[in-house]
């Protein structure tokens, strides 16, 4: 067990050096509730919001700060503020939308872009249908979000699209990762750290994470 610059707890797999699994007790608790098949849609969405906020705290723990002087009601003092880095949240449609509110509750000034990708159910490879990202890309820190990192195809494609458009600083954030997806990201984008609340066992023959939590998009939007 190790700690992040912000003081959180995380674990690393030596075979997946790009993967940072945040192991805070509250995150483990909320992920367990999220996994339960009988968790109602409303509670499921609330849990995703809360997990996204806690993960965002870790993902942004190394942001630069500067010391400024402020006046309290009693005296003058100094404190730290985050430097003016352009933070852009990029949900992968559609399930990634479920993580947006939680992150914005923590960082309401973040800009939000969107990448529309869906998996072909036969090949399991991503098909793109939408790409809208705030400019300029070169100066932004991008946080790509998707609840599930399964095969890694959609996440890798989303990062590739961002890089081709000029993005240089990218991080990935998910709730549950499969080893196959984390490995795909390591092979395709070794420079992109992947933050997750859990690393699960494997994928099944249909590309679903085991034990997983089902189809996050269906459970978020009531289409299961």
- Say how many C-beta atoms besides its own lie within 10 A of residue 20's C-beta: 24
C-alpha 61/C-alpha 64 separation (Å) is 9
C-alpha 82/C-alpha 64 separation (Å) is 6
Beta pairing, strands 111-112 & 86-93: parallel
Tokens of 217: 């998009």
Q: DSSP secondary structure string, 172-184?
A: EEEEEE-HHHHHH
Q: Check 62, 80, 218, 224 and give the catalytic one.
A: 218
Q: Check 12, 35, 111, 119 and give the catalytic one.
A: 119
Residue 105 designated active-site:
no
Q: Could you give phi then psi for residue 83, rounded to 5 degrees?
A: -60, 165
C-alpha 128/C-alpha 119 separation (Å) is 9
Residue 148 Rama label (left phi>0; alpha psi -120 to 50; beta): beta
Q: Check 15, 105, 123, 168 and give the catalytic one.
A: 123
Q: Check 13, 101, 188, 215 and give the catalytic one.
A: 215
Residue 101 designated active-site:
no
Residue 119 designated active-site:
yes
Residue 39 designated active-site:
no
Please list the active-site residues. Answer: 119, 123, 215, 218
């Amino acid at each position: 067990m190790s700690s992040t610059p912000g003081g959180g707890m995380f674990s690393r797999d030596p075979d997946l050096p790009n993967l940072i699994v945040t192991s805070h007790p509250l995150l483990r608790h909320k992920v367990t509730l999220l996994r339960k098949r009988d968790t109602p849609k409303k509670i499921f969405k609330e849990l995703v919001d809360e997990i996204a906020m806690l993960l965002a705290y870790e993902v942004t723990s190394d942001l630069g700060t500067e010391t400024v002087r402020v006046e309290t009601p009693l005296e003058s003092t100094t404190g730290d503020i985050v430097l003016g880095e352009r933070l852009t949240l990029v949900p992968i449609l559609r399930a990634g939308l479920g993580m947006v509110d939680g992150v914005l509750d923590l960082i309401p000034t973040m800009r939000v872009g969107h990448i529309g990708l869906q998996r072909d159910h036969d090949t399991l490879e991503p098909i793109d249908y939408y790409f809208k990202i705030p400019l300029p890309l070169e100066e932004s820190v991008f946080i790509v979000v998707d609840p599930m990192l399964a095969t890694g195809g959609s996440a890798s494609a989303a990062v590739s699209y961002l890089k081709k458009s000029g993005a240089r600083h990218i991080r990935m954030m998910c709730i549950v990762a499969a080893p196959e997806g984390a490995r795909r990201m390591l092979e395709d984008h070794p420079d992109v750290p992947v933050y997750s609340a859990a690393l699960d066992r494997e994928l099944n023959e249909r590309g679903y994470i085991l034990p997983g939590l089902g189809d996050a998009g269906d459970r978020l939007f009531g289409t299961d």
